[in-house]
A and B are shown apart, each in its own frame.
Chain A
């Protein structure tokens, strides 16, 4: 089955700087890669996703890049703000598969 690795597990960034979180996946058939933000005591919230026919997608301060050859994808947050502090999870889903396989999560702390 699919295996998703996520790094780093914790990340501290000065407010205004950029944050990058990286994930790798094992199943070359995976074709959908969402990113979720989870605040303490809440459910995960989808912040951006990318499909395998696209190499990059951007939504304001958030961007995701996908390298199918290397089987890795990354989340980029620019101009970080204190409200960006949360746990971020990457995930992957294979073709014809309903289930998501999640990474282990990254705890992002924005230092004011």
Chain B
């Protein structure tokens, strides 16, 4: 199957700082990438859909100015959590698809802890 990587795997930061998470499709070109957030013992919550070269589409209730998404190439999307606060602490997971209606492959996730 297709491989999606994320970096870093975990990050600890101070409140008020910004954190960037990278999502890469290693062996295919991803026309669309998704960013999810998952709290302990809960399901995946879609934050935004990212298409290469265009602005991300955010789900209702997700602040686009706080969670900046950039999809500059067909193999890389980044999520920047700006001015992070303790309530932003969570498990962030990206996924990628190649072409329309294709299988969605997930990255290993990034655990963010904001102190």
Q: Which residues of A contact B (CB under 8 A)?
A: 32, 34, 36, 41-46, 49, 89, 93, 98-100, 102-105
In the complex where A98-B49, A99-B34 touch, is A105 in contact with B43 (Cβ < 8 A)?
yes
For B, the interface residue count at a CB cutoff of 8 angstroms equals 22
Shortest Cβ distance from A103 into B: residue: B43
Complex Cα–Cα for A89 and B104 (A): 13
Interface centre among B93, B104, B107 (most CB of A within 10 A): B104
Interchain CB contact under 8 A, B108 and A99: no
Q: In the complex, which residue of chain B has the Cβ closest to the Cβ of A51?
A: B101
Asked if B44 and A42 make an inter-chain contact with CB atoms under 8 angstroms apart, the answer reads: no
B46 contacts A by Cβ under 8 Å: yes
Report how far A89 CA is from B108 CA in the complex, Å: 16
Q: Is the CB of A34 within 8 A of B106?
A: no
A27 to chain B, nearest CB (A): 15
Find chain B residues with CB under 8 A from A104 CB.
42-43
Inter-chain contacts of B34 with A (CB < 8 A):
98-99
